[in-house]
Chain A
């Protein structure tokens, strides 16, 4: 259970390289993510949370350091290759689904995440019953809309679908980038419960960025705080369980 799954070693990531506006976003960041960790990620705007995700996902290339998956260096693998082990849910409901394709078509696409796609027929109809069952677990009427274009769904349904798509083919690592932030409080809570349930039952390794201190404290077995591109706080297990929002606030006041 405590086997290191993903390791970031001395990762440096700069933007506007070789210009007067050069900024170091990740500054010799070190982080070891163990198999089965559910880590909540806190940090002020500009601390490097999203950049951390983009570095892991391969959208941004790192300037120095190493990213290791199960001990293998993946620092220079493309975004497409990394999708074999990585799934993401974005903050913006529009980013996670294809608007002109139906719910079922989106699910089918997600099922082949990171795998070879062939010139064989997609065979969507065979999957419909299974997708019906799957979407019923979301309790938001998604199962009634399998043949609806996702562009016509509500933001909450789209995010629930994005989450379902990310976990449909079990990822080794799941990155949730404030995936409930764009939703109304009730929908946001529902999706958060569902997320927790799924992460627990499937024993997923997951990083979740959030600005909700309560969520960060309630969920997960580990909590990290990013500050100036480094991990400035890292608690797990019983210590994390004993953490209160007062303690966190005083920690934030200290580092600012």
Chain B
């Protein structure tokens, strides 16, 4: 039981990454590698700020801002510097490694004895693992609601159009460069925010905690889409949280089967690869239209 509660809590905290990556991977339609750097950047920022006596909530919001700045740099390299997005992301991700070491002063910083979001009176009074469930639900409801609202605004529609058909978006007067920069900023801000939450939950930040982040975030997006089938855009955003929780249960199962925690990156990659190849097997296995909406990146 406590394992299941823990999986739900972890799934909800990590779902922030899924929603962040959704903005670039699904809406702007490119893979942003920056997130592998901004996740530990958010963790490092929050941990360093809390260690220096900052209020945990402010420290977590600061992580969002710092992550957004990293996204801004990727966006400028991509749109104004004409560097391909994959390389622009890798450049900023690599640079983040050094920045993270500078922020923390060493490779690993513990929050032992320090205040965190989870040590707030109400959360600390809950049974074990329920703190991350409650905080996770709160965070995901707020973030998902804001993103859904934004996508239905005039700017949000221009943002979607940019990822859908850039030529048309430009011909309607939408500044596609600004849309991409904004998407990268919010996306990386959310990823860093997620990094700050996870670091406070774990009780430490580690400079290597970004490895494989993009796979984990993609897994929550794609598992959500595969599991729930044909959904509207808003429903798909909610499905990200559920996909993230499902993914934690899959990991739990894998650990139960006797694999060690060291195998998790391998397992995660295999799960994601299989999910992404499902359309290829679709006809053979007769999956009908379940995967259509989520997995056809382009028609």
Interface residues of A (CB under 8 A from B): 57, 79-81, 83-84, 87-88, 90, 94-101, 105, 108-110, 112-115, 117-122, 151, 165
Q: Distance in Å from the Cβ of A251 to the closest Cβ of chain B?
A: 33
Q: Distance in Å from the Cβ of B233 to the closest Cβ of chain A?
A: 9
Closest 10 CB pairs of A and B: A83-B173, A98-B164, A114-B173, A117-B154, A98-B165, A113-B172, A98-B161, A117-B155, A119-B153, A95-B167
Q: Is B171 an interface residue (CB 8 A)?
A: yes
**Docked-complex contact B167 and A90, CB < 8 angstroms:** yes
- A109–B174 Cα distance when bound, in Å, is 9
**Docked-complex contact B157 and A109, CB < 8 angstroms:** yes
Instruction: Given the known inter-chain contacts A119-B153, A122-B154, please indicate yes or no for A114 contacting B172, CB distance below 8 A.
Output: yes
- B174: chain A residues at CB < 8 Å are 80, 109, 117
**Docked-complex contact B154 and A119, CB < 8 angstroms:** yes
B299 contact from A99, A113, A114, Cβ within 8 A: A99
Q: Is B42 an interface residue (CB 8 A)?
A: no
27 examples of A-B residue contacts, CB within 8 angstroms: A79-B170, A80-B175, A83-B173, A87-B171, A90-B167, A95-B165, A95-B168, A97-B168, A98-B164, A98-B165, A99-B165, A99-B299, A100-B160, A101-B157, A101-B161, A105-B157, A109-B169, A112-B172, A112-B173, A114-B173, A117-B158, A118-B155, A119-B150, A119-B154, A119-B155, A120-B153, A122-B152
B171 contact from A88, A105, A115, A151, Cβ within 8 A: A88
Q: Distance in Å from the Cβ of A165 to the closest Cβ of chain B?
A: 8
A82 nearest in chain B by CB position: B173
- A97–B161 Cα distance when bound, in Å, is 9
Task: Give 5 new A-B contacts, CB below 8 A, not counting A57-B171, A121-B152.
Answer: A79-B171, A88-B171, A95-B165, A113-B172, A151-B299
User: Is the interface on chain B under 10, 10 to 19, 20 to 34, or 35 or more residues?
Assistant: 20 to 34
Which secondary structure dominates chain B's binding surface? helix
A112 contact from B154, B160, B164, B167, Cβ within 8 A: B154
Q: List residues 198-229 of chain B with CB under 8 A from any CB of chain A.
A: none
Central interface residue in B150, B153, B165, B169, by most chain A CB within 10 Å: B165
A81 nearest in chain B by CB position: B173
Cβ contacts B93-114/A at 8 Å (1 or 0 each): 0000000000000000000000
B165 contact from A80, A97, A113, A114, Cβ within 8 A: A97
Which secondary structure dominates chain A's binding surface? loop
A90 nearest in chain B by CB position: B167
**Docked-complex contact B170 and A80, CB < 8 angstroms:** yes
- B165: chain A residues at CB < 8 Å are 94-95, 97-99
A169 nearest in chain B by CB position: B172
**Docked-complex contact A101 and B150, CB < 8 angstroms:** no
B160 nearest in chain A by CB position: A101
Cβ contacts B163-191/A at 8 Å (1 or 0 each): 01101111111110000000000000000
- B169: chain A residues at CB < 8 Å are 98, 109
- A101–B163 Cα distance when bound, in Å, is 11
**Docked-complex contact B153 and A122, CB < 8 angstroms:** yes
Central interface residue in B156, B158, B168, B175, by most chain A CB within 10 Å: B168
**Docked-complex contact B171 and A118, CB < 8 angstroms:** no
**Docked-complex contact A113 and B173, CB < 8 angstroms:** yes
B158 contact from A83, A109, A151, A165, Cβ within 8 A: A109
A87 nearest in chain B by CB position: B171
- A96–B165 Cα distance when bound, in Å, is 8
Q: Distance in Å from the Cβ of B163 to the closest Cβ of chain A?
A: 8
- A105–B299 Cα distance when bound, in Å, is 19
- B172: chain A residues at CB < 8 Å are 83, 109-110, 112-114, 165
Q: Distance in Å from the Cβ of A83 to the closest Cβ of chain B?
A: 4
- A95–B155 Cα distance when bound, in Å, is 21
Central interface residue in A80, A81, A105, by most chain B CB within 10 Å: A80
Cβ contacts B128-165/A at 8 Å (1 or 0 each): 00000000000000000000011011111110110011
